[in-house]
């Protein structure tokens, strides 16, 4: 064989190896999510998803043995599709969007949590004339989600071991319940006439937002004590208990959930015990720690502050 022939053969072999390597940029995997009429499929780049998730990477590189029709022995065949029948197509699509955003150099974010209907416990505050208006946003409406959607996204990210997405989900939950858009009283807003960073009118909330305990129960069933999202949800529920509720009773689902299983109730009592309140003393002002405190881990060994939201003080609770 001539040197040119060897060179051509080598180049062809290298090209074939690159194209058919388990997670090469050219490789496309079809992922089927859900079952029945709700089932959907996405053709995705294996390299991007393998980079985000070690679980998917292992699945993409898994090989199966089958009989070799041309002779004795076995041949190895890679998966060209993956089934995720137990997952929600809606939630997986959020994950897919996040993976591609990160792959193309973005930070990666999750849909913002918003109420589906106007909240009767929110009062719009009048804004003075001349206040800046919200900038026009290209591309139409911003995608939104419910608190439960983001909790399910966290659980899916946990299953696939995507640390960055888990943290993004925690940040979204933290922002919804404790961020600047959830204004609880005029006292917590220095200038009630100013607009929010995105230009919208500020809101004055009569009572704090409270996570639905059925959603909290879902998170407890799908996580362990090592997952700090549990602490975030427990503290958030307790803030609702201790802040003024305008003589309102606790939400009806509290009895439904805590009457069936006492783990959530126990975590609430245990959390209160760590606050070191004493009989006869006034209950101190309660402030929540930085969102980053509720991340399970940070990517690439990062240990410094990773959240932009800071509602903290000397007596911050978690």
Question: For helices 147-160 and 89-103, what crossing angle results, to 10°?
Answer: 70
User: Can you read off the two tokens belonging to residue 168?
Assistant: 């993004």
What distance in Å separates the CA atoms of residue 311 and residue 16, rounded to the nearest whole number?
54
Buried b (16+ CB within 10 A) or exposed e, 6-26: eeeeeeeeeeeeeeeebbeee
Where the chain has pLDDT below 70, the residues are: 1-25, 63-79, 115-143, 181-206, 244-247, 260-261, 273, 276-286, 299-318
What distance in Å separates the CA atoms of residue 188 and residue 194, rounded to the nearest whole number?
13
Secondary structure of residue 107 in the 3-state scheme? coil
Give the pLDDT of residue 208: 76
| Cβ contact 243:206 at 8 Å | no
Give the pLDDT of residue 310: 36
Average pLDDT for the chain: 72
User: Can you read off the two tokens belonging to residue 57?
Assistant: 């990477």
Expressed in angstroms, the distance from the first to the final Cα of the chain is 72
pTM over 0.75: no
Give the pLDDT of residue 63: 61
Give the closest residue to 182 by CA, choosing from 102, 248, 121.
121
Give the pLDDT of residue 142: 33
| Cβ contact 295:167 at 8 Å | yes
What distance in Å separates the CA atoms of residue 147 and residue 112, rounded to the nearest whole number?
9
Give the pLDDT of residue 230: 95
């Amino acid at each position: 064989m001539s040197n040119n022939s060897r060179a051509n053969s080598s180049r062809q072999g290298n090209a074939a190896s690159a194209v058919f390597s388990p997670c090469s940029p050219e490789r496309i995997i079809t992922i089927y999510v859900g079952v029945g009429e709700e089932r959907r499929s996405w053709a995705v780049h294996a390299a991007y998803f393998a980079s985000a998730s070690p679980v998917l990477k292992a699945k993409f590189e898994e090989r199966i043995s089958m009989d070799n029709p041309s002779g004795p022995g076995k041949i190895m065949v890679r998966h060209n599709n993956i089934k995720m029948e137990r997952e929600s197509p809606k939630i997986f699509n959020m994950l897919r969007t996040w993976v591609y955003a990160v792959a193309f150099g973005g930070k990666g974010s999750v849909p913002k949590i918003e109420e589906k209907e106007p909240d009767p416990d929110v009062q719009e505050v009048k804004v003075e004339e001349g206040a800046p208006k919200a900038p026009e946003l290209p591309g139409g409406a911003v995608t939104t989600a419910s608190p439960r959607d983001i909790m399910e996204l966290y659980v899916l990210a946990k299953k696939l071991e995507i640390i960055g997405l888990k943290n993004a989900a925690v940040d979204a939950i933290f922002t919804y319940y404790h961020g600047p858009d959830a204004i609880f009283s005029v006292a917590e807003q220095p200038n009630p006439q100013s607009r929010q960073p995105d230009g919208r009118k500020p809101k004055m909330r009569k009572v704090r937002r409270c996570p639905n305990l059925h959603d909290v129960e879902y998170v407890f069933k799908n996580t362990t004590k090592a997952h700090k999202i549990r602490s975030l949800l427990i503290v958030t529920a307790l803030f609702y208990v201790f802040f003024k509720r305008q003589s309102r009773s606790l939400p009806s689902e509290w009895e439904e959930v805590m009457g069936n299983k006492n783990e959530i109730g126990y975590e609430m009592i245990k959390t209160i015990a760590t606050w070191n309140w004493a009989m006869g003393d006034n209950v101190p002002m309660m402030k929540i720690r930085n969102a980053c405190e509720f991340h399970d881990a940070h990517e690439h060994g990062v240990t410094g502050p990773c959240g932009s939201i800071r509602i903290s003080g000397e007596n911050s609770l978690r």
